[in-house]
Amino acid sequence: MASELDNAVVVDFPLRGEWIAFNSPGDRIPSHGTDMLGQRFAYDFIRVDRRKGWHVHPAGSLRSNLIGFPVREAYAWGQPVHMPFDGMIVDAQDGYPERSRIVPIREIAVVLKNAFTFDPSRLRSVIGNFVLARSADTFAAFAHLTTGSVSVRAGQEVRSGEQIGRVGHTGNSTAPHLHFQLMDSPDVVTARGIPAAFRRLEVERDGRWETAVAVIPRRADRIRYPE
């Protein structure tokens, strides 16, 4: 039986540098455990160091879990987000406040509260600052952008590779990351997810970087945009 990912729409990778697809349709579908909000094939991209585990900040696990750390010190925070295709901006919203410090227990509590009390009228509390872009009948959503970083506006034509914002920690976020997804509609509440693959990436295998095309990265993969 054909995989749902066989007909993935191929786009450019929206980030630069090294990343991990912490949530990916390459590992499970729905990637976030739900089809709500067009998330069936969504990705969450984080930056981690080379220590064992998922360290998104230089602090050790004990300090991170007990007292937390400043958001701006996280590896992913403030990294540029780029347009993955030539298209038009459908919507772009900034100004949603960003929590200045990450305390894991609190961040998880915020995510759970928003999940169990979700109301479409409070969508910003889930996605934070965001950009919604269109190419033909495909719509791309970029969520959790840092406050003050959105650099595009609705109706603007943008070329692939142009910067549209920066990675942040707004809305349903346990640490700075980019939530990226493709959909069949600009209405996030009713949209259905579309699988996405990335045109060209380098994937680390056995300590060496190898170039791959039409990539659907998995959680175990360390990936980067080819320089």
Q: Does residue 64 carry a pLDDT above 70?
A: no
| 96's tokens | 């949603």
Q: Does residue 63 carry a pLDDT above 70?
A: no
DSSP symbols for 43-112: EEEE---SSSS--SSSS-HHHHHHT-EEGGGSSSTT-EEE-SSSEEEEEEE------SEE-HHHHHHHHH
How far apart (Å, rounded) are the C-alpha atoms in residues 144 and 125? 10
Whole-prediction pTM value? 0.93
CA of residue 87 relative to chain centroid, distance: 19
pLDDT in tens, 90-108: 999 999 999 998 887 777 7
Ordered domains of the chain (ranges, CATH): 9-197 (2.70.70.10)
pLDDT in tens, 139-196: 999 999 999 999 999 999 999 999 999 999 999 898 999 999 999 999 999 999 999 9
